[in-house]
Structure 1
């Protein structure tokens, strides 16, 4: 874990990416586990945010439950990469934007409170850039936890149960949006969050527990910037497999060591045939390619055409947009 030598900081950034306590003074709970004080835990997290190693302490959301999202890509000419990336990043619903090694080189995730919002964002990007936008919609997830083990192997199995959307109530969207922006780093963060929402803290914590148990909140905890922590060789690997074969290959690939995301998406006929996606995060390109070689040797993937699109630059990384905001003029 590059730049994080202190054992308390290492534990804080690795062990609390999930299952952050939903209680009045959660940092006190972390302090008990880490053998330090509540104020020290808060100060350490603030320092890591300021250093750019932590995005926020907050939530990730199961896709297409309380909001809508899609993966998209454009082929920006070399001389226009920065310009087009700025157009993409100006959309508030774009929460991840990366430059990758391929002709289709700018990849981003567009989010919004509903599909119409996402479609409108993609249309604006296409109009303002003058470029075709590939809309690669999610078909089914195999691992979208988004947690990232900083110590190597993560023994946690991918989540296999679908979110329970029937628990949703009016007001939940505002809570999730606040958690996407991040919990305040103070002694009573849920009380502070509740005040900004004009709601009771006990009620807000109860709803967060319900949404977490229902897997609508996929993860609540420290959201790290893996590149800033030394994991800079990151490849999105796309596999050309038919839908039926992905039924077998997806769960196996999702559980393979080194694979941090895995899902099926719609192809684009005549342009982009790939349906199965996986992310590999490593500290070196050699290690990433070794992981890919191991994955490609799995019986369910042997002989499947695939591409490794290594990330070369991160333009944007923030929480998803789940509540309506003012549309860009």
Structure 2
């Protein structure tokens, strides 16, 4: 199988991990994660040919995986900054975790909410808002409501990588080919495209010619939709194309937030992680807000690694620690996902 051959060629030890998928499903999801065709009006047919099966056979298998909750969607990441929204990671010191889970569950702007084994820093939330000041106000209110002793708002100075994909043979995350996130992308309207196009391609229909129904809704040709998608991807409105999986349902139940302090430049450190750690799904250079805040957690580089066990994650962390630009590293494993099933 080509994925195994690739890793052997790279000198990487491949260990087939048990993730509850048959070989056909594993191959199909690997192709849809890492080789999603961007030049085809019928991407599923393109993948089916590579698998040596009929397109309907592939679509039936994908529908079953979707019904099982393993396949969340096939489509594109939509950069919230193209909708002029601000996003920040907020760390809370202390507080009632169950109360935090309840608040996160009822907040549509919360995309991630985790309890982590970070000592007094237990609750970590990623939230969107119309401005950073609005996020700061929200964080203060959230801290009061959960009884936290304090909080830190950590904004992204630069997102060096965002690509949440899972290597179904090694049992560890591995980013795809489209990983960069533009900090200030244009809006679709500024590119001469319909404002609703990004949302419509976030989750493509599991059908032949999936762009057809989108084109009909927008009053465009299929070819125009596909070209628009490619332009949005090029300009950073869209990103990370392909299959999006529920890692927990196939055994990727461990995730580690690796926080690295730089010897000199945080930007250089993040770039070194980009160049050497393909298993990192998020690599973000973060700064405290307000900028004059004396923060424990910033300025630092944050990297996320997912795996079927700590045994596959720990060697990745050791490689981060050995990078030339790293001064020190702290690792916070997730204890509980406080908002499972959130739209991401």
Question: Shared topology, TM-score over 0.5?
Answer: yes
SS of residue paired to 2:323: coil
SS of residue paired to 1:305: strand
**Does residue 1:305 correspond to 2:328, yes or no?**
yes
Shift of 1:310: 0.3
SS of residue paired to 1:247: helix
Shift of 1:10: 0.7
Distance 2:60 2:135 in 1: 37
**Does residue 1:7 correspond to 2:23, yes or no?**
yes
SS of residue paired to 1:165: coil
285, 310, 316: which one aligns with 1:285: 310
Partner of 2:56: 39
Root-mean-square deviation (CA), in Å? 3.2
Partner of 1:64: 81
Shift of 1:209: 1.8
**Does residue 1:205 correspond to 2:226, yes or no?**
yes
Aligned length: 313
Distance 2:99 2:184 in 1: 41
2:162/2:180 contact within 8 Å kept: no
CA separation of 1:313/1:47 partners in 2, compared to 1, >3 Å: closer, same or farther? farther
CA separation of 1:294/1:26 partners in 2, compared to 1, >3 Å: closer, same or farther? closer
Partner of 2:269: 249
TM-score normalised by L of structure 2:
0.77
Partner of 2:5: none
TM-score normalised by L of structure 1:
0.80
Partner of 1:28: 45
Structure 1 alignment gaps of length 5 or more: 321-329
Correspondence list, 1:219-234, <5 A: 219-234=240-255
Higher relative contact order (CA 8 A, sep 6+): 1
Distance 2:136 2:35 in 1: 33
User: For each residue in 1:106-132, what CA deviation from the matched residue of structure 2 results, as whole angstroms up to 9, or x when unmatched?
Assistant: 222223566577567546644654545
86, 89, 107: which one aligns with 2:105: 89
CA separation of 1:210/1:27 partners in 2, compared to 1, >3 Å: closer, same or farther? same
166, 175, 189: which one aligns with 1:169: 189
Correspondence list, 1:45-194, <5 A: 45-62=62-79, 64-68=81-85, 69-77=87-95, 80-102=96-118, 103-112=120-129, 122=139, 125-126=142-143, 128-129=145-146, 131=148, 132-152=150-170, 154=174, 159=179, 165-166=185-186, 168-169=188-189, 172-180=194-202, 182-194=203-215
Shift of 1:287: 3.0
Distance 2:194 2:165 in 1: 23
1:164/1:214 contact within 8 Å kept: no
SS of residue paired to 2:265: helix
Shift of 1:210: 1.1
User: For each residue in 1:229-271, what CA deviation from the matched residue of structure 2 results, as whole angstroms up to 9, or x when unmatched?
Assistant: 22222200112337x4223221111232433321110136344
2:19/2:168 contact within 8 Å kept: no
Distance 2:246 2:225 in 1: 28
User: For each residue in 1:43-71, what CA deviation from the matched residue of structure 2 results, as whole angstroms up to 9, or x when unmatched?
Assistant: 22222222222222221134634443222
Partner of 1:261: 282
